Structure 1
């Protein structure tokens, strides 16, 4: 099969360094703020496929003809439910009360707990 004549193929250039990537499709730069990630896969005998995730990358470079797909982002609810169900309420309260940024105003404990949950979810 001659993939060079396939009208579904696009010229792609991806230059990634650290947490940033510059992506061009058919010579047009993709707004970096529009994407949260990408994957490049390739099977023998087929052109590479780039999947763009709407919405940060290890250092890499890819340039060539590829099929491009736009991925649907999964709903965050189920993953959040799993994360939150694993939280020990006593440990959350203890950690929030021990935070140096715990305020004294209304809702300050709730804010400290939410900040703590964000840090735990981020691996901090």
Structure 2
């Protein structure tokens, strides 16, 4: 993912440049200093404290070619998304192996007799738990 060094991305000594974000349903058109960068951006956040200059953090797509466009802009910081590894490790460290096995074995909707069914069932349960779905699915009719 394209990224710039912080000293190049946060330009506190230069004047901010024009930023325009126009919502269009579930998408938005983003212009920075007159350049449409909508297709280059996968996420952004904008913060503005009273009396301060707005700050925008822009996350570029992996295939972005607009790296040079982000020179200045309301003190722009271009960064990469955080590594999910530490969060996943913290989540897994509090999982009880016995409880995971018990829940997976009672989930008849996930046990289909194919190879590795218990492992697939455990992964499905972990996925549900990671999404906050802590309840056990009710067995489907006759299962």
Unaligned runs of 5+ in 2: 1-13, 62-72, 134-143
Q: Report runs of 4+ in structure 1 exceeding 4 Å deviation.
A: none
RMSD of equivalent CA atoms: 2.7
Whichever of the two has the greater Rg, that structure is 2
Compute the TM-score of the two structures, normalised by the length of structure 1.
0.68
Single out whichever of 86-95 and 72-81 deviates more from structure 2.
72-81
Q: What is the SS of the residue equivalent to 2:102?
A: helix
Counterpart CA distance in 2 for 1:10 and 1:102 is 56
Aligned residue for 2:101?
93
> What TM-score results when the alignment is normalised by the length of structure 2?
0.60
Higher strand share: 1
Whether 1:44 and 2:50 are equivalent positions in the alignment is yes
Number of aligned pairs? 106
Structure 1: which 5+ residue stretches go unaligned? 56-64
Once residues 121 and 16 of structure 1 are traced to their aligned partners in structure 2, the CA distance between those partners, rounded to angstroms, is 31
* C-alpha displacement of 1:23: 4.2
